[in-house]
Amino acid sequence: MGFPQTVLLGAIAGFTIYLGLPLGRIKGMSEKVRSFLSMISAGILLFLFIDIFKQLSEPIEAALTQHSFGEFALLLAILVVGFGVGLIGLIGFEKFFIRSHSGAAGEAPSTTRLALMIATGIGLHNFSEGLAIGQSAGRGAIALAVILIIGFGLHNATEGFGIVGPLMGGDQPTWKFLGLAGLIGGGPTFLGTVLGYFFVSDAMSVLFLSLAAGALVYIVGELFHVNRRPGTRFQVGWGLLLGFMLAYITDLVLVFAGA
C-alpha cells in the first residue's frame, strides 16, 4: 500500500467519528435520560482508559522481560510524565483556553466544556491509533493495516457518541461546534497515520497513550461529578454499563479480525 492510499484510508478511519456527532443535536430530554446518555459516554471512555493501559504495558513489559533496563526506565518515565501532563494539562486547558474562548469564566455551559475535553482526550488516543495504522503500512503489513483501518473506523464511530453524550437533550450544539469537536477528536488519526508511515517509535506511542490516559481520568471524573445526583443513580449505573459494553464489543471486532 502506497503512502497516498494509506493517508486516505487513515483519514477515513479518523473521520468516522463524525457519524455519531449529529446525535448531539437531539433535544427535549428529561434529566434522567440525559444522565443515562451522558454516562454511556463515560462508559466508553472508561473502557478506552483500560484499553490504553493495556497497550501501554506491552512495550514496557517487553523491555523488562528482555532485561533492557535502560529502555524500561525510559518508557516508564515517559508514562509517568505523560500521564501527569495529560491529567494536569487538561485541567489547565479547560481553565485557561476553553473558558477564555467561551466568554467570562463560568458563563459557558459545563456540558460544552466537557464535550471539548472529551474530544481532546480522544484525539490523543486516536493519534496513537493513527501511528499503528501508519507503522503497519510502512512496514509492508498491508493486511494488518487494512484491518486496523476498518476496526478503528468502527471504534471511532462510537467515540463520536462519547463526545456528544453530555450535550444530548440540553442546549443544541451548532454544526460548527460539532465540526470542531470532530476535528479535535478524529483529526489526530490522520496525523498519526502520516507520521507513523515514516517513523516507528515505542517512546512516541507510550507518550501519546499516557497523555490520553491522564486526560481520560479527569474527563470521566467530571462526567461523574456532573451526572451523579440522588435521583439519577440508576440511570448513571446503567449508562456506564451500556457504554462500557458497547466499547468492549467494538473492540472484540478488532480481536476477531486478528488486529
pLDDT by residue (tens digit) across 18-35? 988 888 887 777 778 878
Exposure letters 32-55 (e unless 16+ CB within 10 A, then b):
bbbbbbbbbbbbbbbbbbebbeeb
Residue type, 68: S
- Split at pLDDT 50, 70, 90, the class of 148 is low
Per the DSSP assignment, residues forming a β-bridge with 253 are none
Calculate Rg over the CA atoms of the chain: 18
Instruction: Specify the pLDDT at position 109.
Output: 42
The per-residue pLDDT for range 160-196, each reduced to its tens digit, is 878 888 787 666 788 999 999 999 999 998 998 898 8
The per-residue pLDDT for range 73-94, each reduced to its tens digit, is 999 999 999 999 888 877 776 6
Give the number of other Cβ atoms within 10 Å of residue 23's Cβ.
Answer: 16
Q: Hey, CA dihedral for 191, 194, 198, 200, is it positive or negative?
A: positive
CA distance linking residue 113 with residue 106, whole number of Å: 10
Indicate the helix (H) or strand (E) that contains 212.
helix 202-227
Share of the chain above pLDDT 70, in %: 84
Supply the mean pLDDT for the chain: 81
pLDDT, mean of residues 90-110: 57
CA distance linking residue 39 with residue 244, whole number of Å: 9
pLDDT score of 237 more than 80: yes
Share of the chain above pLDDT 90, in %: 19
Exposure letters 240-253 (e unless 16+ CB within 10 A, then b):
bebbbebbeebbee
Instruction: Specify the pLDDT at position 144.
Output: 60
